[in-house]
Structure formats: C-alpha cells, structure tokens
Amino acid sequence: MASISINSAAELLRPPQDGMPFIRANRAAEFTTEAGELAISDGLIASFEGDGAATVQIDASGCAVIPGFVDCHTHLPFAGWRADEYNLKVTGASYEQIAQAGGGIKSSAISLDEASDDEVIAQAEALATEMLEHGTTTFETKSGYGMSVEGELRALGLAARLGESVVQQIASTALLAHALPSGYDVDGWMAEVALMAAQVADEKSASALDIYVESVAFDNEQLRKMGELAQQHGFDLRAHVEQFNANRSVPVALEVGARSVDHLACLHPDDLEPLAQSECAAVLLPGAEFLGEEELAPGRALADAGAITVIATDANPGTSPIVSMPLIIGLAVRRYGWTALEALLAATINPAWLLRCSETTGSLEIGKRADVVVLDGPVANIAYRFGHNPVAVVISSGEVVHVRSDWEDRVSGER
C-alpha cells in the first residue's frame, strides 16, 4: 500500500478534540481549519506533518483537506428512474396524488422486479462511482423497493453484492416498511416484517431497520412495532418521519430508541427541543425538499438547539435523484442558513456516528482510516460555488482512488 503525503494545505478540517463520537451543531465553530500537512501510511492517517519519503506526493497549496463525505441516507440499489413523475410534480401534482395513481415507491418496485440482478448492480456501481468523484467514501444502502418478502430479501442481497464491488465502505439498512404491498393489510404486512427482521438478523445482512411513517405509508403504531423489533433483534432503528405532515412521530421514535429520524420537513415545534437534547440524529434531506417543493426542515433551529444534525442525499429515483454531497451541502447552507462548518460536520463525523463507524472514519485524526478528500479551494467554496464539484482528489482507505483530470500535475509518484 502506497504512503501518501498531502502538502501545503491552506486548510485542514480538524474536530475540536480527538475521540469525539459526534459533534452537536452548536459546537461547529470549534472546528479548526488551519494550514497544515497530512501523512498517510498503511491505510491510516499517520501524522499531521509532511512525509518527504512518501511514495505519493500531493500538492494541496491554496486548498482544503477534509474527511471523506459520509452519505447516510440513500436508496441504492434501485432500478430505473422516474423523470415522468418529476414533470407531474413541477406542474402541480403532489407526492400523495402520484402515489395513489400507482407511481412513487410502487413504480420503483415494478422496475426493480423487472430488472435483472446484473442490471441493478451495474446502475448502482455507476452511481457509486459518481458519488466517489463527489467525495463520498462511505454510504448507506436501503431495501424498500422489493414490496414482497422475496423482493426485500433480494434487495438486501443486492446491497451486499454492491458492497463487494465498490470502493466505498457501505452500511445496509432494511427498509422493510416503505409502502404497503398489494394483497396485504397493515397488520398482515407487519407480521411478514417481523419474520423478515428475524431472518435478516440471523443472516446479518443489515445493521438497521427503517420505516416510512406518512399518510401514504405507515403510522405511529407501526413505528412503535418496528422499534420493538429493532430492540428484539439488536438493530438500530431509522425512521422516515414528518416529510409531508406533522404526524408527531418524533416522540414515538425517541421513546423506542431510534438512532435517527429522517426528513423532518414538518417537525412539530414541540418536538424540536426533545430531539435536540437526545442522542438521536436529525437527518435532513434538502435535495428532496428542494426538488419536491416540500416544507423546509427547521435546520437553523435544530443547529442552535444543539441537535446531532446530519444531511444526506436521499439518493433515489423519485424524490431526490441526487448523489452529490457538495450539492447537498450547498443547499443546506443556503436554505437552512448554516455555516459551511455546520454543514460539514453534518456530512462527515455525525453521519459516521449514525452508521456506527465514527471510531474509524468521519474526521481527520491520527489512527483513523484514511478516507480523505482534497478540495480545489477553501472550505467556504463548497457552498459558494453552487453546482461546481470541488473534489479534486479522493483517498479511500489510504488509496488514491480518484484524481480529477486537471489535478494530475499536482499528484506525483506511484499510486
């Protein structure tokens, strides 16, 4: 494995102190972004000094060095796209109307069912490559488009296969209650979910369970049941909540020990402070909010209250066909009124904690896995140059895995 020296960086993004599992948003200003250098050896961050003997030398003068992005909410692998639905949305159709007409999740379930395993993996690998080029070195996968027992288990198997073929580290989530399959009532499907959860636990094919609570999906009673299943089988609980309506799901999620609540565009004001004081991540999805013209999650208020804030792409074929974390950071900064540092902690160490990998990645610390991104300018430019991909070099587990073509002359040595 090559040794790497990143030299003359204008900014090195460092946490307030080493060993922090997560950073509450009201401490974001404690990040340091001083000039410096970084050495990598045996796949790990070795020191914050340059190494003239390293086999790979990277000139980062004038630029920032940050941890690789952690995208903790994606719906990979999936099949096909739903561009026709986007046309309906922008001309006035609501998500609920599209879903009730047979679109939405059920449409993606049909596409997944009709695609071969190889076709699904090929599309997911291409998207993972695009994610890598935008700095994502760890991401989450979800089932949820299977819409049958066989389909959900197949989706989890495809996620495992994807994890073996991509550069990134992945974490698998079993979204077993995404939409109600045809031929089932809610109780009947939740009985199947209970059986699947036991099988998934035995096979260790996922580390978390997830549920979608909404008018077109499941309710708080099923959220409570999913929490009980998670506790019974040793899973983390994730929950899609408060996307289109204030269903008051957050108190239920906190009661059953959820690791995260995701979306929160319609978070009830009374639930903000308890969430902010808990050890439950508030995962905001500004891409879905923007493209779906949804309500705006209270990102500024959550940050001020000291929540464990997280942002993610929500990469999926319907509501957020986005895989670029820099784009998501730009949306979060502009729409939530966040600083660049607030957005970066929500895209690195906090989602790493959520996926239970912050001991090994998510921040620049000696001994952590060398998942490192070199930007083509300062940290502030990620949001300021909206739509531009600022990622020049990506290092994953101590290997240089991507160098932008215009940066080839800044990276020397054998890699």
Q: What is the mean pLDDT of each run of 10 residues along the chain (415 residues)?
A: 95 97 97 97 98 97 98 97 90 85 89 97 98 98 97 98 98 97 96 98 98 94 98 98 97 98 98 98 98 96 98 97 98 98 98 98 98 98 97 98 98 91
Q: What phi, psi does 174 have (nearest 5°)?
A: -95, 100
Picking from 169, 138, 134, 128, the residue whose alpha carbon sits closest to that of residue 327 is: 134
Contact indicator for 40, 372 with CB cutoff of 8 Å: yes
Structure confidence by residue, pLDDT tens digits, 270-287: 999 999 999 999 999 999
Contact indicator for 28, 339 with CB cutoff of 8 Å: yes
Q: Tell me what pLDDT residue 104 has.
A: 87
Give CA angle at 345 (341, 346), nearest 5°.
115
* C-alpha distance across the termini of the chain, in Å: 9
Structure confidence by residue, pLDDT tens digits, 342-392: 999 999 999 999 999 999 999 999 999 999 999 999 999 999 999 999 999
The structural domains of the chain, with segments of one domain joined by +, span 4-67+361-413, 70-354
3-state secondary structure of 226: helix
pTM of the model: 0.97
What's the fold here for domain 70-354?
TIM Barrel (3.20.20)
Q: What is the DSSP letter of 56?
A: E
The two beta strands, 32-41 and 44-47, are: antiparallel
Q: Tell me what pLDDT residue 273 has.
A: 98
Give CA angle at 240 (83, 389), nearest 5°.
55
Beta bridge partners of 412: 57
Q: Tell me what pLDDT residue 71 has.
A: 98
Query: ω before 77 within 30° of 0 (cis)?
Result: yes
At the top level of CATH, which class does the domain 4-67+361-413 belong to? Answer: mainly beta
